[in-house]
Amino acid sequence: MNQAKAGSGSFLRPRLLPARALLAAACIAALLLSACTGSSPGTGSSPAAPQSASESHAVQSPKPEGNGPELLRKLDLNLTLPWSIVFLDDGTAIISERDTKLIKSVRNGHATTIGEFPGVVPGGEGGLLGLALSPTFSGDRLLYSYFTAESDNRIARTRLEQSADGRLSLATPELIFSGIPKAPTHNGGRIRFGPDGFLYVGTGDSQRPEQAQDRNALGGKILRLTPDGKPAPGNPFGNNPVYSYGHRNVQGLAWDGAGRLWASEFGPDVNDELNLIKAGGNYGWPEVTGAPGRAGYLDAKVVWPSTADSSPSGLEIVNGTAFTCALRGQRLWTVPLSGETAGTPVAYFTARYGRLRDVSLAPDGTLWVLSNNQNPDFALVLEPPG
């Protein structure tokens, strides 16, 4: 495992009484079936109030819809397996396509190809994955990309040039970080700049679960980097990019209004997770999944016992609510947050639009959700509640 040269050096190796009685019995049954202490999606049509800080939730079978995000429009953009979406200040959407290696822009409901990102080698779940804009984009116009190359997963940045007539193009990319292990699956891929100005990177265990517990490996981690690709100052393990570990396959990163980092993560065949991320925290994989309450590991705040209900991907937090896309689950989950507590998740648009990959807040306050069906793919524009 190597760090790319954006600085120097390398540092790691790779209401009737009967109704009430029935309700009480149902609640007891749900608790007996749920072997976790984390938060779970509720069966009601709207999110329940957050539970006490010591509780996590396991997902039950939710009703399809209630008071939640409202669909404003569906944009038929003829996309092919879009993976990540970010927005320029003028509202232009920038989208990556995993297998085509293309970066596209969307303006006024129409998609245009900006260019093909060089060095991408698609395969399985790998390809052109996460995008992030520099915190100082207005001055440097830098677009960051996480992608699968011939031998590893990498991060590069490129200037997003704009001509006088408004057309966008890609300058030559600069590699800033490399050596993240690759495999047909479990490549991670989500990147995002935090409120502190550093780049956070979600990686997967690349089908080698033992890496997740090894702090000297890059797989199964959340990394924290400077914009140049060096370990960020203040990282929990010294001159090391690892910020948290014990992850299986991180797919979403987002911060709440108080600056707390949350992450969505694929479980194996059980226990998809929404985690509150702590610096230096060990999230248990492969020793534990979900929220077993075992000493030495941090429990998930939300647990979906069946991956058929979720397989959570992109994550966004707006007005105290976490929104996470579900791939296998084919729905959008909402989770009310209160401090470090997650309330009962509720699902929307279940089985209506197929697999959903990413969700992102646009400058106009709408939420955009990318489908991931290759039939071709589209974007949903939603009005978030509240």
Model pLDDT for residues 191-225, shown as the tens digit of each residue: 999 999 999 999 999 999 999 999 999 999 999 99
Residues of the chain below pLDDT 70: 1-66
pLDDT, tens only, 135-180: 999 999 999 999 999 999 999 999 999 999 999 999 999 999 999 9
* pLDDT, the chain, mean: 88
The pair of three-digit structure tokens given for residue 67, joined into one six-digit string:
């008071």
Contacts of 374 (CB under 8 A, 6+ apart): 80, 81
CB atoms within 10 A of CB 92: 19
User: How far are the Cα atoms of 129, 178, 185, 228, 313 from residue 121, in angstroms, in the given order?
Assistant: 11, 14, 14, 23, 21
18 upstream amide cis, omega within 30 of 0: no
Give the max Cα distance, the chain: 71
The predicted pLDDT at position 275 comes to: 98
Consecutive H or E run containing 20: helix 17-33
Please state, in angstroms and rounded to a whole number, the distance separating the CA atoms of residues 386 and 384: 7
3-state secondary structure of 209: helix
pLDDT at 120: 98
Q: Which candidate, 255, 274, 264, 347, places its Cα nearest to that of 39?
A: 274
